[in-house]
Chain A
Amino acid sequence: MQLDDLYRRVIMDHYQHPRNRGTMDNDAITVELNNPTCGDRIALQMRVQDDQIKEAKFEGEGCSISLASASMMTEAIKGLKTDQALQLVTLFSSMMQGQEVDSDQFPLEDIEALTGVAKFPARIKCATLAWKAMEKGLAQKH
């Protein structure tokens, strides 16, 4: 097990300089999720118009992996159609199970750096928290 497989430079960058951190005050979809086994918490907000995600922001507390993942996720879904975002969730979840994913389908960019998490089973839940919040938010009526 190599630490560098997990803590890639991109991840550390998102952890230190999270993108889209904050809140929106318009009538955005809001989801709060926590990871009951460790206390990590995320509050995700998304503004969806005509089935397209216009904006996404998050607040929360957690480890480097969970915060970096939230930062990357909010970057990635901005501008996506909601069904595309849900496909991305499925793709991400396969990635976390260590499966090869077809990245032609989506430009994964920074998210690719999280592939190493699959080798650290105890940390997968950290990485998936924000994604679960997104999935839950999109399932809500909007």
Chain B
Amino acid sequence: MRVNKSDFPILQQKINDHRLVYLDSAATSQKPMSVIESIEQYYKKDNSNVHRGVHTLGSRATEAYEAAREKVAQFIQASSSKEVIFTRGTTTALNLVASSYGRSKLSAGDEIWITAAEHHSNLIPWQQVAKATGAKLCYLELQADGSLDLEQVKGQLGPRAKILAIHHVSNVLGVIQPIADLAKLIHQQGGIIVVDGAQSIPHLSIDVQQLDVDFFAFSGHKMLGPTGIGVLYGKEALLEQMEPIEFGGEMIDFVGLHEASWKELPWKFEGGTPIIAGAVGLGAAIDYLQQVGMDQVEQHDRQLTAYAYQRLSQIDGVKLYGPQESRIGVVTFNLGSIHPHDVATVLDTEGIAIRAGHHCCQPLMKWLEETATARASFHIYNDEQDIEALASGLEKTKEFFGNAIG
């Protein structure tokens, strides 16, 4: 695969006198120079507000912003860029679906289906919708490794199932869920599927039409892009039926003293000055990923994840969570009775960055019967050397705590 670690300037540093080994890409990925430069260039040359100025810069900024939308549409195989709404991230995108679609379409007794493995951002918005509408929040049965048994799902989804909201890839277990099959099952019941793609889009090529998903949410910052920009993809027919949830400039057509009308898609959902530089940066991230090739990205990330799983399972005292197969991007574990915070602190002194805690998945932690776990996560700039560093860091951790405690 053609990826140069040197494309990522942040990785060229030492942390606590060690080479930085960044294993926290599921929290946020690092950014290649091309993304950083695209933002700098935008501010140096084209910065202006969009969709209003008559002047040259106004046109350039508008073109840059809308070109980014086209890139996203093509990247996820949307049938039109009208279906691509820029948001602040996955959280905002999921809240938009829940508040606009959920609250207007559901009534008492309807069912919203999710899983116990959802990130809080795909759980709490639905709790709120359920409270506001009287709909029931229901949980699909998970297998011991966090995967789903489609036969079981089929038995659970009945005619009152109006929304299935589910992660594509779990940020804790790394499981890849069979989205196309799930879409079929919920469509058979006349419901819709909302997919949290935050952890899939960084690693897998996404074709929203092939998956036949109704909504698909993701964040730019986990796919080599900047923070502050994300996307809600929605099928045009559904978006057309939905009301905006934010009102103000940019999203209006005609405004009177007592009435106003909205712009057409996608702008009716983008009230206020948008995240222009963020969109430009996201466009550059897509260019970078496409230069590498999403097939290559997927292959690399799958192999490295499998290697990490294998390597960590050889360490005495390591307990791994989630499936061995059908997994990408993350490996979550615990090391004996050593608290993950303590593991992460020892690793940090070796220059190794991992995540420790509940990963915004408190119900999942409960389901795993753990209060916290440690997580190593990967992207294209990681290699087997990084996994070796992690493995020897874990050996050191055991030694240190063994000595300190023993």
Contacts and interface: CB of A to CB of B under 8 A. Distances in A.
B12 interface: no
A6 B401 CA distance: 12
A123 B345 contact: yes
Decide if the interface of chain B is mainly helix, strand, loop or mixed: helix
Contacts of A120: 345
A38 B357 contact: yes
A61 B371 contact: yes
B349 to A, nearest CB: 5
B346 A3 contact: yes
A9 interface: yes
B342 A38 contact: no
Nearest to B370: A39
Interface string B359-375: 00010010000011000
Chain A, interface residues (CB within 8 Å), range = 20 to 34
B404 A126 contact: no
B371 A3 contact: no
B357 A6 contact: no
B194 interface: no
B356 interface: yes
Interface size class of B (residues with CB under 8 A): 20 to 34
Given A61-B371, A63-B341, A126-B341, A7 B404 contact: yes
A87 interface: no
B357 A3 contact: no
Interface string B382-406: 0000000000000000001000110
B43 to A, nearest CB: 30
Contacts of A38: 341, 356-358, 372
Given A2-B349, A7-B400, 14 more contacts: A3-B346, A3-B400, A7-B404, A38-B358, A39-B357, A39-B371, A39-B372, A40-B341, A40-B371, A62-B339, A62-B371, A63-B342, A64-B339, A64-B342
